[in-house]
Structure 1
């Protein structure tokens, strides 16, 4: 079994611990506060049923029916959220041990080669993720270069709790998005794009999360929003997020349970964390109206997302 390696990024009051397994952020500390959920040891990330802290893919979120068609061929994927495929499958890149190269206390690079047929996906993909810390801002630069046409859609899957304890009820969330992709009861988008006005997904003005029943859905971000999302808690701690991706999944840990020993952040449980998953549209491989996530040697996958906490 490959050894999991770790590295600590430091700048000013911020310290971020990252792992080679899944490019996971194991801990994010601002002064004396731990602002993400995590597990107690790196070895616990081998199980990680909540995809905590990792990069999800090859295709993040759900693929309906765990299959898609490409050039007349139907590709079947593991139905790890039966009957659907979720976050790249049970052996997706968030569960793989990447090659990690350190660059001092400010940056780290991860590389992974995903072979043709990995989790049912076509093509061989060379993935590269660079994480860089500057002040209180952590930036992910993600790249996937395939040897043939194949779908790719990555996301970071950190669970934020800016108070470091309890639930995210007192977190106020604003997202610059006036449209969303409503889900069916199975959490797969219905295939249409609706206005957020009058729905629970209207975050254009700040929403206190404790005033809702929990969220797990995708918003379509207003292009060029600066930032795309903001979170604030009563004592003044804030989070801001920038991304070049068109969508963002908002997930309030509705089904999170304590299953593994916890790290120094908030205790794991329902509503203990907030995920803000910058991404392309869920199930886009089966819904042409959601835009293409097909990548190729001439048009590789790229994402830049930054999150600042302070």
Structure 2
């Protein structure tokens, strides 16, 4: 079905998926997961209209790229050449820049009742990044969860870091905030950040700090719930609330845990802590920090990753 039409005249499609007790709605704009229902309860934050996604979104449900998270100063060097990116988060480039993958209309490359594959071609120089990059994301509803498969290829050396930016509220959209959600993250280390939220380069132990979620803790028990940090994963994650548990597994080395504390209820339809994000990904600012796992993608390579969200009662 057609969800809406952009000012350019380009149409945005909504694809509906179902499998067992799960239902989902996916938009071609930004490859957005607009809803994810588990036994009739929508557990992600979605917006009502296309206009909302154009003017009131904080990446709700979108695939962000070409580089998810922050790149310091909007600059990086690759093979001796420096590249300059749009700055849209203080002095930094965030989630691919001012016109990242969340703002693009993706193409439906395949679909079934429980799955849809979307593709996007990002041209050489798009938002300052080198190389024509082809990105693919496949959403598949399984018996007990949502699986997301990512892939990317480029005709020139580039950097890429794709993730999904869904905000989860396991009690249901609009059913209070998430500070009562019990969170577990199998991570012995996290990445401390400076005042601009750029990693210092240290992998700091979580033990004895408010960043220790190796044992489950309610979000609101820790530093007022105000998290926007990358954790170095040793295993999976889980979130429990409202009688529902979400288990998250990924092939990525890290997860950006964002508690939604900066949602304001004015620029967006949702107030602080309306949902939390578990953005599975490589580390922020990796192109400028060679000690981090590499995000460089070269011609002839295919970068893939998989993240799965499984639900139990």
TM-score (structure 1 length as normaliser) = 0.93
Of 141, 151, 164, 1:133 maps to 141
User: 2:164, 2:127 → 1: CA distance?
Assistant: 19
Number of the residue aligned with 2:203: 193
1:70-116 deviations in Å (ceiling 9; x for gaps)? 12211110001021000001111111000014522110010111000
User: 2:13, 2:56 → 1: CA distance?
Assistant: 16
**Matches for 1:84-163 after TM superposition, within 5 Å:** 84-163=92-171
Q: How far is 1:34 from its partner?
A: 1.4
Number of the residue aligned with 1:215: 227
* Runs of 4+ deviating beyond 6 Å: none
User: 2:229, 2:130 → 1: CA distance?
Assistant: 27
User: 1:290, 1:198 → 2: CA distance?
Assistant: 24
Distance 1:48 1:118, change over 3 A: farther
- SS class of match (2:117): strand
User: 1:261, 1:7 → 2: CA distance?
Assistant: 24
Greater RCO, CA 8 A, separation 6+: 1
Matched, 1:169 2:179: yes
Number of the residue aligned with 1:257: 264
1:214-249 deviations in Å (ceiling 9; x for gaps)? 111000001xx2xx100111x421101110000000
Matched positions, count? 300
210-219 or 296-305, which deviates more = 296-305
Number of the residue aligned with 1:40: 48
Query: Are the counterparts in 1 of residues 90 and 196 from structure 2 also a CA contact under 8 Å?
Result: no
Q: How far is 1:48 from its partner?
A: 4.7
235-244 or 275-284, which deviates more = 235-244
Of 189, 192, 196, 1:182 maps to 192
Matched, 1:240 2:247: yes
Q: How far is 1:42 from its partner?
A: 3.5
Q: How far is 1:11 from its partner?
A: 1.1
Q: How far is 1:198 from its partner?
A: 1.4
User: 1:259, 1:76 → 2: CA distance?
Assistant: 32
User: 1:163, 1:205 → 2: CA distance?
Assistant: 21
Gaps of 5+ in 1: 263-267
**Matches for 1:1-40 after TM superposition, within 5 Å:** 1=8, 2-40=10-48
Number of the residue aligned with 2:295: 293
Query: Are the counterparts in 2 of residues 100 and 108 from structure 1 also a CA contact under 8 Å?
Result: yes
User: 2:144, 2:26 → 1: CA distance?
Assistant: 15
Provide the aligned C-alpha RMSD in A: 1.4
